[in-house]
């Protein structure tokens, strides 16, 4: 019997959400396909125990980000010791560049998963991406950015991120759950932005639109889920606008599967977005979405099907679309049902696992 395919994964994220959660889904699915998985991750990271539960072998090491040149040598030693068939690099923070160099020095083919759509200089792309035998983009939008920067189309494969549809489900479990958990008052509709509190997520556009929404829809409330360096600035803007009563900062929550189904609408006016895992989660919970068509967002939010897409920065359009939907609850429910069906059809964990496995097999088949 031939030895199982062995993949060494590198994930630099410390928290179990976003890309790191996708890695856990992938490890679990690959394990079921008979793949031997090794995960290299930061010491004390939340992904480590979750990865061990999938059956993966976990190696924790120091990871100091883009400035940590020593990571090259630590990863090379691990790769040389474990002798995997390939190395799969899942994140940035130095894991992409230093991991690619380490794999090249160890003589093992490397695959990079690209999760962001921000452009890089073509000269940098031509140098950095020589390290990777294949690149997996989590959206077609990201794939097109990479091709526009000079990567050969055959080297870039789109494999959508996935959502756990068993965990993220239809239907709010308890009446008044948001009020109890978040301290919200009133009985009006609840809108939410589920994203890091950083400029490119576009929270300010919703805040600009909010006075008009409140004037048209009685009792509306907004929840910002997430943390980030923009929190103090956003709180100050809310206070200046006299919106403190209507905007709640909920911070990071690890129980979104309980809270998302109780929302009426998710708003995502981002300027840049690789794909938007929080949008997948919202769609899986049957929540309609109003967003901007940044990056891979149009692959999740289909205009008129499970939400609406507005140009980036179109505050007037954002306000009008939100008011229009909040006045038509049955239409929102139908959009929610269509969003759930879309996720089940195109963004399942099984589909994501099969897509990555096909990239592995294609690469190793070419290398004989």
Residue 224 lies in a domain: yes
Nearest to 342 by CA among 312, 309, 310, 307: 307
In this structure, the answer to whether residues 187 and 292 fall within a common structural domain is: yes
How many structural domains are present in the chain? 2
**145-171 burial string, b = 16+ CB within 10 Å, else e?**
bbeebebeeeebbbbbbbbbbeebbee
Query: 135 pairs with which residues across the strands?
Result: 112, 156
Q: What is the mean pLDDT of residues 227-240?
A: 97
In this structure, the answer to whether residues 354 and 213 fall within a common structural domain is: no
pLDDT digits (tens, 9 = 90+) for 108-154: 999 999 988 888 888 888 889 999 999 999 999 899 999 999 999 99
Tokens of 271: 């300027």
Residue 169 lies in a domain: no
CATH number of the domain where residue 117 is located: 3.40.50.2000
Residue 170 lies in a domain: no
In this structure, the answer to whether residues 96 and 113 fall within a common structural domain is: yes
Distance of CA 15 to the CA centre of its chain: 13
Which residues constitute the domain of residue 113?
A: 6-162+348-366
| pLDDT higher than 60, residue 1 | no
- Cα separation of 300 and 139, whole Å? 10
Supply the DSSP string of 65-133, one letter for each residue: GGG-THHHHHHHHHHHHH--SEEEE---TTHHHHHHHHHHHHT--EEEEE-------HHHHHHHGGG-S
Q: What's phi and psi for 310, nearest 5 deg?
A: -125, 150
In this structure, the answer to whether residues 128 and 198 fall within a common structural domain is: no
In this structure, the answer to whether residues 148 and 235 fall within a common structural domain is: no
In this structure, the answer to whether residues 205 and 133 fall within a common structural domain is: no
In this structure, the answer to whether residues 195 and 342 fall within a common structural domain is: yes
In this structure, the answer to whether residues 207 and 306 fall within a common structural domain is: yes
Tokens of 277: 């895992």
- At a CB cut-off of 8 Å and minimum separation 6, what does 355 contact? 136, 157, 159, 160
Q: pLDDT band for position 275 (50/70/90)?
A: confident
Residue 151 lies in a domain: yes
In angstroms, what CA-CA distances link 213 with 130, 207, 233, 314? 49, 10, 22, 14
Tokens of 360: 């592995």
| pLDDT higher than 90, residue 350 | yes
pTM for this entry: 0.83
| pLDDT higher than 90, residue 85 | yes
- CA atoms within 13 A of residue 271's CA, in its CB half-sphere: 13
In this structure, the answer to whether residues 137 and 260 fall within a common structural domain is: no
Residue 1 lies in a domain: no
Distance of CA 112 to the CA centre of its chain: 16
Residue 167 lies in a domain: no
In this structure, the answer to whether residues 61 and 93 fall within a common structural domain is: yes
In this structure, the answer to whether residues 111 and 250 fall within a common structural domain is: no
In this structure, the answer to whether residues 145 and 189 fall within a common structural domain is: no
Task: Return the pLDDT at 2.
Answer: 67
Task: Return the pLDDT at 91.
Answer: 81
Please provide the size of the chain in residues.
Answer: 368
Query: 191 pairs with which residues across the strands?
Result: 222, 265
Residue 279 lies in a domain: yes
């Amino acid at each position: 019997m031939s030895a199982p395919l062995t993949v060494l994964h590198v994930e630099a994220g410390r928290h179990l959400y976003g890309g790191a959660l996708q890695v856990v889904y992938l490890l679990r699915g690959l394990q079921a396909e008979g793949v031997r998985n090794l995960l290299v991750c930061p010491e004390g990271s939340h992904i480590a125990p979750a990865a061990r539960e999938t059956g993966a072998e976990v190696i924790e090491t120091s990871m100091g980000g883009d400035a940590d040149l020593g990571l090259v040598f630590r990863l090379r030693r691990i790769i040389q010791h474990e002798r995997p068939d390939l190395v799969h690099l899942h994140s940035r923070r130095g894991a992409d560049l230093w991991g690619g160099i380490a794999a090249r020095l160890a003589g093992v083919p490397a695959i990079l998963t690209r999760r962001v759509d921000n452009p890089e200089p073509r000269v940098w792309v031509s140098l950095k991406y020589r390290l990777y035998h294949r690149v997996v983009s989590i959206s077609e939008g990201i794939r097109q950015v990479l091709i526009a920067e000079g990567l050969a189309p055959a080297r870039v494969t789109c494999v959508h991120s996935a959502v756990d549809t068993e965990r993220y489900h239809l239907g709010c479990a308890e009446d008044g759950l948001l009020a109890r958990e978040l301290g919200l008052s009133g009985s009006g509709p609840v809108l939410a932005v589920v994203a890091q509190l950083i400029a490119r997520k576009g929270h300010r556009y919703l805040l600009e639109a909010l006075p008009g929404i409140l004037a048209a829809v009685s009792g509306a409330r907004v929840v910002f889920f997430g943390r980030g360096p923009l929190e103090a600035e956003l709180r100050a803007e809310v206070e200046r606008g006299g919106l403190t009563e209507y905007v709640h900062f909920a911070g990071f929550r690890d129980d979104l599967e309980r809270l998302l189904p109780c929302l009426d609408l998710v708003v995502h006016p981002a300027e840049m977005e690789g794909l938007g895992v929080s949008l997948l989660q919202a769609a899986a919970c049957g929540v309609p979405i109003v967003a901007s068509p940044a990056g891979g967002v149009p692959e999740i939010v289909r205009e008129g099907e499970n939400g609406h897409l507005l140009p980036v920065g179109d505050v007037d359009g954002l306000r009008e679309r939100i008011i229009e939907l909040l006045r038509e609850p049955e239409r929102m429910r139908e959009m929610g049902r269509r969003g759930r069906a879309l996720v089940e059809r195109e963004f399942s964990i099984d589909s994501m696992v099969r897509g990555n496995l096909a990239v592995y097999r294609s690469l190793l088949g070419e290398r004989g």
